[in-house]
Copies of this chain bind each other. A is one copy, B any other.
């Protein structure tokens, strides 16, 4: 049933993923859906969980925390791109707290294995999650606009991988925070001009 919803999402997009369309796709009356889910948001949360499942399966065992940020972030990016309108859907499920952040647990785990304070891992997890969802949302919306031919051709793809660059920037920021908190004296270029 959530599987049918995911199929419908890929086939028709989020705006057409209505309770009524889902019902007819299942050969059932719309009201029947409310025996299985209390409301549409709960149904969408179940779909979000399926979309994000691959992120939880990633192994980051013996990576540094910044490296884990890169790996988990990339995996989440890929998982969102794998389904139509996934970032918009997941974004709202995540914001409503109906689904857990898929990057939180992995980052917390590797962090602990290396003596990183939980609060720092949590902060990193928030930054990564929000960045990935937001960036991919923007990215998927551009795909739609592109398909409709509403975009200047030179803004479609610069060839340059902005996603990885920005994610790397976040990972570097985390590395700097780690140095501050424990390791060797490696001060960061916190430049300030008058």
Contact = CB atoms under 8 A, between A and B. Distances in A.
Interface of A: 62-64, 66-67, 88, 91-92, 94-97, 119, 122-124, 126-127, 129-131, 133-135, 137-138, 141-142, 145, 151, 160, 162, 165-166, 168-179, 184-194
Nearest to A163: B126
A160 B120 CA distance: 11
Contacts of A187: 190-193
A191 B134 contact: no
Chain multiplicity (copies):
2
Contacts of A170: 127, 169-170, 173
A143 to B, nearest CB: 11
B162 A191 contact: no
Given A67-B192, A126-B162, A176 B179 contact: no
B177 A138 contact: no
B135 A130 contact: yes
A190 B169 contact: no
Contacts of A145: 96-97
